[in-house]
Amino acid sequence: MTTSTARRPKVIKGMEHLAVPKDEILLKATGVKKYFPVSRGFSLFGGKANLKAVDDVSFEIRAGETFGLVGESGCGKTTTAKMVLNLDKPTAGDITFEGKTVLKMDSAVRQNFRTNVQAVFQDPWSSLNPRMRVRSIVGEPMEIATTMTKQQITARVGELLTEVGLNPYQANLYPHEFSGGQRQRIGIARALALSPKLVVLDEPVSALDVSIRAQIMNLLVDLQKQHGLAYLLIAHNLATVRYMCHRVGVMYLGKIVEMGDTDPLFDDPLHPYTRALISAALPSHPDIKREEIILPGEVPSPINPPSGCTFNPRCPVKIGAVCEEMKPVLAEEKSRHRVSCHLYEKSKKAAEDVAKAAAAAPAVPSTNGAKQA
Amino acid sequence: MAGVNTAPTSPGIRAQDRDSFGPSTVREEVILQVKDLRTYFTTRWGTVKAVDGVSFDLRKGETLGIVGESGSGKSVTSLSVMRLVPSPPGHIVGGQVILDGVDLLQLSESEMSKVRGDKVSMILQDPMTALNPVFNVENQVGEAIRIHQGLRGKGLLDKIIDALRKVRIPAPETRIKDYPHQLSGGMRQRVVGAIGISCEPLVLIADEPTTSLDVTIQAAYLRLLKEIQAETGLAIIFITHDFGIVAKMCDRVAVMYAGKIVEFGDVRQIFNHPTHPYTEALLSSVPKLEEKTDRLYAIAGQPPALYNLPPGCSFAPRCPYVADRCKEEYPPMFSSEERHVTACWNWDKVGKAQ
């Protein structure tokens, strides 16, 4: 198998185990929001509310880069991934791929987008059609999007299977004949079929056994190096994110609360939520003693999030009224390291600027503040 | 390594003292002894030896971790201790499970149901399926207490509220009328925990109790289990696939592969110098938050099918230390140091640079 090495891993610092990303921005999300309307109670009139699944999220992914989104369940990371894949339309904001918006695409742009953005899903048992042979599963994107002949497709399927560590003859088998790790390899082969530029990985290893996870993570890192792929990695396991990602965004209740290069973010987290999250991560050795920050309560409902900073009811370092009254704004506190918290001068100042601008233009309806930026 | 564990917290961040979270106060008194337990399943492909000769003991106040991947037999081991193996197709074909001087495998079904939930109880992985959606919290927590202790009325109610208070459910007096769907995932798992400890068992089996919980909720739940253990001297068997949980919770560890315990020792022995190649590989294949490697160590191949095990050591086909003898003869337990045993012919080579 190409991806399993018995070689003893070396301890390193920095990013030398990952590919070097390019400067070119591949995907850019600006002020993206996704509100789901929900009805509240049994009232016939009114009673409508919005579930703010994703609330004003901006990030960019460079070519060849892995951008990770971490957070607990319900923080909006999967909804964000769906919007990046254009499976869900944002309520507000814009997403561009190679400089062109994905919200309104003509057929040529759409074809280009669909070819270049692919996905690998969490559960390898439900993401492959049990009635299709591997050849059809991996070959289907090529049948649809290219003019390749049957022979060409068969040859390419064999190549792809070899590349992900399977045997070309396995193209004749059905998904149930594979183990979980092998199925995930098939899912990856399908995602690579059209030589995409961006692959969205939604919890790609969390359903796999521990010994198989390492194989798949090594494979993903190798493929990135070979093909210059960009990844959007959605995960809740911090160690996985730290190993795989160049940059990381931490999400809480639909917002990115901190974003930066992986090592600085993990070594010196700024946002109190990030700190709590890292402190709660399981240790890799019994002698590692982390000071644990236990957050009181649970994640509030995204239907009626707390005012001001949405983290304020659980925040162990809440300053005071300002946290309840003013929304913090994501601002660059250190080089390439952004945080949204009133503890930090730049974020606080940015929030004050937004508040001033809002006060200066009083006509804006205050229902959702969508037009403030 | 510089990083998360040593990073100074900024002024104002309240960190709780971890000293209360150290090793359990283990007493020497053995409370549960499992000897040569064998649980086989009859399938159309042949006999699956899901648990094949597992032996361990558990002392009062101790936390034992049973680690393994899916199909290693860790859950069937715990179900066998509880005598809850679905039969057919499963049968406990041999061995002893001695709890407090009584061999559970010799008890009749009605005698066993007096023990189950009273002296030994279980917390399952998914709190949504472990709780019955049509009964409220009071009913479900009260059931075991009513059956095992014969309490009714006010006495029962006090006991229920007491159990809920032990698992730190806020305002238990009002919460007892809630149904499972009204509780969050973390709260539901606390209710399951309350059921588990309601009759003050000697042994609590926790089968992946936190896998469905979020990271911060998981941390709070693990801390809670430790606190309950410190208060009551409960012995806990922790079934998990996650070495992080083992590092945080356990005093001793049993690593299972293909139905057998392949390595058994104190938690620091296992982490500092594993002597089975499988343990070594598992420990180094997990990415670490504190330390980065240029590559993850990957074990070649797949876990074997249990109805068709290779002769000799089951790990031999995936083992980097494999020798001819491994393919012919299953290794006995070697003792590499005091209280640390391993089933590997080449245990003294494991961990030495290749």
Alpha helices (H) along B167-314: 172-175, 185-197, 215-232, 243-249, 267-272, 277-285
Are B294 and A12 contacting, i.e. CB atoms less than 8 angstroms apart?
Answer: yes
| The pLDDT value given to residue A3 | 38
Residue A12 domain flag: no
**Which of A210, A265, A275 would you mutate first to test chain B, the one with the most B CBs within 10 A?**
A210
At B159-206, the pLDDT tens digits run 899 888 888 888 888 888 999 888 888 888 889 888 888 888 999 999
Q: How far apart (Å, rounded) are the C-alpha atoms in residues B82 and B37?
A: 13
Nearest CA in chain A to B224: A294
Whether residue A294 and residue B285 make contact (CB cut-off 8 A), yes or no, is: no
| Partner A, chain B 135-194, Cβ-Cβ below 8 Å | 184, 186-187
At A18-43, the pLDDT tens digits run 888 888 999 999 999 999 888 766 55
Are B136 and B178 contacting, i.e. CB atoms less than 8 angstroms apart?
Answer: yes
Nearest to A260 by CA among A320, A76, A269: A269
| The pLDDT value given to residue B25 | 60
Would you call the peptide bond into B88 cis, given omega within 30 degrees of 0 as the criterion? yes
Q: Contacts of residue A73 in chain B, CB cutoff 8 Å?
A: 214
Q: How far apart (Å, rounded) are the C-alpha atoms in residues B179 and B184?
A: 11
Q: H/E element holding A6?
A: none
**What mean pLDDT is predicted for residues A254-274?**
93
Strands (E), A208-270: 230-235, 247-252, 255-261
First to last CA, chain B: 24
Residue A87 domain flag: yes
Residue A42 domain flag: no
Q: Contacts of residue B218 in chain A, CB cutoff 8 Å?
A: 280
Whether residue B7 and residue A268 make contact (CB cut-off 8 A), yes or no, is: yes
At A291-332, the pLDDT tens digits run 888 888 778 888 888 888 999 999 999 888 889 988 899 998
Q: Contacts of residue A280 in chain B, CB cutoff 8 Å?
A: 215-216, 218-219
| The pLDDT value given to residue A174 | 93
At B283-314, the pLDDT tens digits run 888 888 888 888 888 888 778 878 878 888 99
| pLDDT over 80 (residue B24) | no
Whether residue A280 and residue B293 make contact (CB cut-off 8 A), yes or no, is: no
Are A209 and A131 contacting, i.e. CB atoms less than 8 angstroms apart?
Answer: no
How confident is residue A287, by pLDDT bands cut at 50, 70 and 90? confident
**What mean pLDDT is predicted for residues A231-254?**
93
Nearest to A280 by CA among B230, B11, B5: B5
| The pLDDT value given to residue A362 | 59
| pLDDT over 90 (residue A119) | yes
At B259-275, the pLDDT tens digits run 999 999 999 999 999 99
| pLDDT over 90 (residue A201) | yes
| The pLDDT value given to residue A305 | 87
| Residue-by-residue DSSP string for B50-119 | EEEEEEEEEETT-EEEEE--TTSSHHHHHHHHTT---TTTEEEEEEEEEETTEEGGGS-HHHHHHHBTTT
Q: Contacts of residue A182 in chain B, CB cutoff 8 Å?
A: 302
Whether residue A284 and residue B286 make contact (CB cut-off 8 A), yes or no, is: yes
At A41-59, the pLDDT tens digits run 655 556 678 888 999 999 9
How many distinct structural domains can be found in chain A? 1
| pLDDT over 80 (residue B247) | yes
| The pLDDT value given to residue A175 | 92
Decide the pairing of beta strands A337-339 and A331-334: antiparallel
Strands (E), A98-227: 100-101, 117-120, 198-202
Q: Contacts of residue A272 in chain B, CB cutoff 8 Å?
A: 13
| The pLDDT value given to residue A209 | 82
Amino acid identity, position A364: V
At B115-139, the pLDDT tens digits run 888 889 998 887 778 889 999 999 9
| The pLDDT value given to residue B169 | 84
Q: Contacts of residue A6 in chain B, CB cutoff 8 Å?
A: 297, 300, 320, 354
* Domain enclosing residue A257, as ranges: 17-35+49-283+291-373
- What's the mean per-residue pLDDT of chain A? 87
Shortest alpha-carbon distance between residue B131 and chain A (Å): 20
Whether residue A12 and residue B292 make contact (CB cut-off 8 A), yes or no, is: yes
| The pLDDT value given to residue B12 | 34
Shortest alpha-carbon distance between residue A107 and chain B (Å): 41
Q: Contacts of residue B320 in chain A, CB cutoff 8 Å?
A: 6
| The pLDDT value given to residue B217 | 81
Residue A7 domain flag: no
Which residues, 6+ apart, have CB-to-CB distance to A306 below 8 Å? A300, A312, A313, A324
- What's the mean per-residue pLDDT of chain B? 84
**Which of B18, B223, B272, B285 would you mutate first to test chain A, the one with the most A CBs within 10 A?**
B285
| pLDDT over 70 (residue B23) | no
Residue A67 domain flag: yes
Nearest 5°: phi and psi at B98? Answer: -100, 110
Whether residue A288 and residue B247 make contact (CB cut-off 8 A), yes or no, is: yes
Report the residue from A209, A275, A298 with minimal CB separation from B13.
A275
Residue A11 domain flag: no
**What mean pLDDT is predicted for residues A3-24?**
74
Q: Report the residue count for chain A.
A: 373
Quick one: what percent of chain A has pLDDT higher than 70? Answer: 92
| The pLDDT value given to residue B18 | 36
Q: Contacts of residue A68 in chain B, CB cutoff 8 Å?
A: none
Whether residue B302 and residue A212 make contact (CB cut-off 8 A), yes or no, is: yes
- 3-state SS of B128-190 is HHHCCCCCCHHHHHHHHHHHHHCCCHHHHHHHHHHHHHHCCCCCHHHHCCCCHHHCCHHHHHH
Alpha helices (H) along A228-344: 238-244, 262-267, 272-280, 321-325
Nearest to B209 by CA among B150, B323, B124: B124
At A336-350, the pLDDT tens digits run 999 999 998 888 888
Are B203 and B146 contacting, i.e. CB atoms less than 8 angstroms apart?
Answer: no
Report the residue from A8, A291, A343 with minimal CB separation from B18.
A291
Total beta-carbon pairs less than 8 A apart between chain A and chain B: 197
DSSP code at position A22: P
Q: How far apart (Å, rounded) are the C-alpha atoms in residues A214 and A210?
A: 7
Whether residue A266 and residue B297 make contact (CB cut-off 8 A), yes or no, is: no
Whether residue A214 and residue B223 make contact (CB cut-off 8 A), yes or no, is: no
Report the residue from B245, B295, B354 with minimal CB separation from A9.
B295
How confident is residue B342, by pLDDT bands cut at 50, 70 and 90? very high
How confident is residue B38, by pLDDT bands cut at 50, 70 and 90? very high
Shortest alpha-carbon distance between residue A119 and chain B (Å): 23
The 8 Å CB, 24+ separation contacts for B110-115 are B112/B83, B114/B148
Shortest alpha-carbon distance between residue A287 and chain B (Å): 8
| The pLDDT value given to residue B100 | 87
**Which of A179, A238, A279, A318 would you mutate first to test chain B, the one with the most B CBs within 10 A?**
A279
- Rg of chain A (C-alpha set): 22
| pLDDT over 60 (residue A183) | yes
| The pLDDT value given to residue B182 | 87
Residue A93 domain flag: yes
| The pLDDT value given to residue B261 | 94
DSSP code at position B281: H
Helix (H, G, I), strand (E, B) or coil at A337: strand
At B43-88, the pLDDT tens digits run 888 888 899 999 999 998 899 999 988 888 888 999 999 998 888 8
CATH number at residue A194: 3.40.50.300
At A64-101, the pLDDT tens digits run 999 999 988 888 888 999 999 999 999 999 999 999 99
Residue A6 domain flag: no
Helix (H, G, I), strand (E, B) or coil at A201: strand
Q: Contacts of residue B243 in chain A, CB cutoff 8 Å?
A: 210, 284
Decide the pairing of beta strands B203-207 and B120-123: parallel
| The pLDDT value given to residue A270 | 94
At A132-161, the pLDDT tens digits run 999 999 999 999 998 999 999 999 999 999
Q: Contacts of residue A181 in chain B, CB cutoff 8 Å?
A: 302
Q: How far apart (Å, rounded) are the C-alpha atoms in residues B193 and B206?
A: 9
DSSP code at position B16: B
Would you call the peptide bond into B8 cis, given omega within 30 degrees of 0 as the criterion? no
